[in-house]
Amino acid sequence: MTFEWAEIPPGYLILGAFCLTGIVGSALVIVSWRLPDKARTFSWAVLALMLGAIALGVGGRIGGLVRAFDAVGTEHLEASEKAAQLADGIAMAMNSTAIGLAVGLPAMVTFIVLRVRGARRRRKAVAAG
């Protein structure tokens, strides 16, 4: 038996990408607390993570809506099959939006915290001379 990416539903691929971005974001936060002088560098990495999560959320939402409207517009399907595909498309759109917010909002807060922390360190360094 061979593995094919086409066999995996798109929703699961999006969910996997979100989990990966969450793990990377958590690692960046942990490392930044251990290396406070690198907070500014890590803040940019968290910003990239946040933008990636938002992009994945929007992509999943659009994919889910396209899938839902495609089910409605298909004429050769039975009503029950249309309803099932419509529900799957809406579920994909809603899940990717929720997961995008779940990753993106904490990443945004982390970005702000790291930027403020870096700015405080720079001010202390300038004041110390």
* pTM of the model as a whole: 0.62
Q: What is the pLDDT of residue 34?
A: 65
Q: What is the pLDDT of residue 11?
A: 61
Q: CB pairs under 8 A, 24+ apart, for 39-45? A: 39/114, 39/115, 39/117, 39/118, 39/121, 40/114, 40/115, 40/118, 42/114, 43/110, 43/111, 43/114, 43/115, 43/118
One digit per residue, the tens of pLDDT, for the chain of length 129 reads 555 555 666 666 666 666 666 677 667 666 666 666 666 677 777 777 777 777 877 887 888 888 888 888 878 888 888 888 888 888 888 888 887 777 777 777 777 777 777 778 778 878 886
